[in-house]
Amino acid sequence: MAIELPGSGTPRQLHSRVLQSPLAGVSDKVFRQLVRCWAPDALLFTEMVNATSLELGHGRGKVEELAQERGPIGVQLFDHRPASMADAARRAEAAGAFLIDINMGCPVRKIARKGGGSGLIREPELASRIVEAVANAVRLPVTVKTRLGWCGSDADPVLWCQQLERAGAQMLTLHGRTREQGFKGDADWNAITAVRRALTIPVIANGDIHTPDDALRCLSQTGAAGVMVGRGTMGAPWLVGQIDAALEGWPIPATPGPLQRILLARDQLLALVEARGDHGLLMARKHMGWTCTGFPGAPQLRHALMRAATPKDALALLDQQRLALE
């Protein structure tokens, strides 16, 4: 069953119940294209986009490249200034965003300290004004990704999320941890259940979903409309598609074996170098480190890849390992 989002004149339907989380420094165009190979219908996101930077002309590539991609792609914005957020949302809408998501959950200190991301949890009135400003600026659905609260002692996720719904959020993705927890401890799926029962808009569960079985258990426990996966996809772009298949009752695609992982790392390296030049190698190193696992010699290969001086050197290492596995 599709998730219906009415928007303010431009309705959207989500035909997949699994979403790929925005990941700073990870979920760029190259990564999204890999995820899309396994998950043609899933909602993917750009990396977080700073509204003020976009207004000043920085980071526009993250938004303007959307027209070149297939499938639904949302733009996630963060900032603490309602007017800047509204302006950035209009730019994203014009560029072809599927929907606009507002980040109110990023726990990174430098972002929260400036009032963005999870910092807005401590400023609920400002958070509401931001949602209202963005919702009034675009025809697209406006959604929010957030956390249970700032810390355990003062967290009231039901009250917090009800406020976001009243402000105009049409879907809410809830990470089952507080900002104080970061990514420590277990995600509180019971708290997500309580929020889902209190809201009338779709709630997407996020946190501790690393396998198709995790997703099935989470939806069974929370009754959420869908799940969002994030860190579990680093080095595993096939995970979104595997979860999508599990939720639909389809055969689950096999996890790539050693040779397939090497070929995947090679393709990602070439794509990043084509897009970013030699800087693409720096970006590819972390991806190759995550992907090149689970076979004899993998630790040594990762060690060598991290020290490859040029893309040509890295390709030679991958090709050498490929020949050894064939």
Q: Which residues are known catalytic residues?
A: 106
SS3 label, residue 143: strand
Sheet strands (E) in 68-161: 73-78, 100-104, 142-147
C-alpha neighbours within 13 Å on the C-beta side of residue 75: 31
Burial zone of 315 (CB within 10 Å; 0-12 exposed, 13-18 middle, 19+ buried): middle
Interacting residues of 318 by C-beta distance below 8 A, sequence separation 6+: 262, 265, 266, 269, 288, 301, 305
SS3 label, residue 283: helix
What is the distance between the alpha carbons of residues 201 and 107, in angstroms, rounded to a whole number? 24
In this structure, are residues 142 and 152 in contact, taking their beta carbons and an 8 Å threshold?
no
SS3 label, residue 81: coil
What is the distance between the alpha carbons of residues 308 and 87, in angstroms, rounded to a whole number? 42
Among candidate residues 205, 122, 139, the one with its CA nearest the CA of residue 5: 139
What is the distance between the alpha carbons of residues 168 and 170, in angstroms, rounded to a whole number? 6
What is the distance between the alpha carbons of residues 251 and 249, in angstroms, rounded to a whole number? 7
Q: Which amino acid is at 235?
A: G
Look-up of token digits 């689950």 = 252
